[in-house]
Amino acid sequence: MEGPLALVVGILIATGVYLMLARDLLHYLFGLILISNAANLAIFITGRLTRAAPALVPKGLEVPPMPVANPLPQALILTAIVIGFGLLAFALALIAQAYKVLGTLDVDSMRIAEPVKPKRKKSP
């Protein structure tokens, strides 16, 4: 049952890449969200899917009754989701501030650090 999910990941990545290549910074941000979701899903799938019970140990047992969902990718994804959220929050704040300062969300016009035609210095 991983097949369709792998396809979903591919679609998310494709859309994310397409959006990230746009000129608009907001689109870039949306692409980032898509890709981070896709990455989480990819980890989830490669840890093998199961419709079985969550990875819990019932009272009175030392080990979970087989089979349970693989707990390791879940732990990884939990971390990734939270860190992804931190990244997105920061990126959003950065975009807001950039718009405030530069008055545009067009990445091609944001050329203060790397001016369009830098004057070439002659080597001494």
Partner 1 sequence: MGAVGDTDSRDSRQAEPGRLISLLSPVPPTILTLILLFYMSDISAGREISFGVTWVSDLGVSLQFFIDGLSFLFALLISGIGVFITIYAASYLRGHMQLRRFYLYLYLFMIGMLGLVLAGDLMTLFVFWEITTIASYLLIGFNNTSAIARRSALQALLVTTLGGLCLLAGFILLGSLTGSFDMVQVLASGETVRASSLYVPILILILIGSFAKSAQLPFHFWLPNAMAAPTPVSAYLHSATMVKAGIYLLARLHPVLAQTETWEWILTCTGAATAAVAALAALRQTDLKLALAYTTMIALGTLTMFLGSDASAAVAAAITFLIVHSFYKAALFMVVGIIDKQTGTRNMIKLGGLGRVMPITFFTALASALSMAGFPPFLGFIGKELKYEGALAVASEPALVSTAAVFANAVTVTVAGMVALKPFLGKYPHNLPKVHEASPGLWISPLILSFLGLTFGLAPDLVGGGLVEPALTAVLGIPESIDLRLWHGINIPLLMSILTFGLGVTMYLGLRHLRAWLAWDFKHAPTSADLLWDKSLELLRFFAAFQTRILQNGVMRRYLTVIFVTVSIFLSYALLRSGQFPLEYNWPRLNLKEWAALLLTVGGAFMAGTARKPLIAICALGALGVGVALIYLFFGAPDVAITQLLVETLYLVLVAAILPRLPVFSPGRKIRFRPRDALLGGMVGLLVTLSILAVLQTPFDSPTSDFFEQAAVPEAHGRNIVNVILVDFRALDTFGEIIVVFTAAVAAVTLLGHQLRRGPQ
C-alpha radius of gyration, the chain, whole number:
22
Quote the tokens at residue 112. Answer: 């203060």
Asked if 119 is part of the footprint of partner 1 (rule: CB under 8 A), the reply reads: no
Query: Measured from the CB atom, is 42 or 119 closer to partner 1?
Result: 42
Asked if 3 is part of the footprint of partner 1 (rule: CB under 8 A), the reply reads: yes
Q: At closest approach, how far in Å is the CB of 9 from partner 1?
A: 6
Query: Measured from the CB atom, is 114 or 119 closer to partner 1?
Result: 114
CB–CB of 25/107 below 8 Å?
A: yes
User: Cα(96)–Cα(105) distance, rounded to whole angstroms?
Assistant: 9
Quote the tokens at residue 124. Answer: 């001494």
Count, residues in the chain: 124
Asked if 2 is part of the footprint of partner 1 (rule: CB under 8 A), the reply reads: yes
Draw the binding track, 23-52, toward partner 1 (x: CB under 8 A; -: no contact): xx-xxx-x--xx--xx-xxx-xxxxxxxxx
- DSSP assignment letter at 108: G
Residues 45-84 touching partner 1, rule: CB under 8 A, are 45-59, 61-64, 68-72, 74-75, 77-79, 81-84
Query: Measured from the CB atom, is 64 or 119 closer to partner 1?
Result: 64
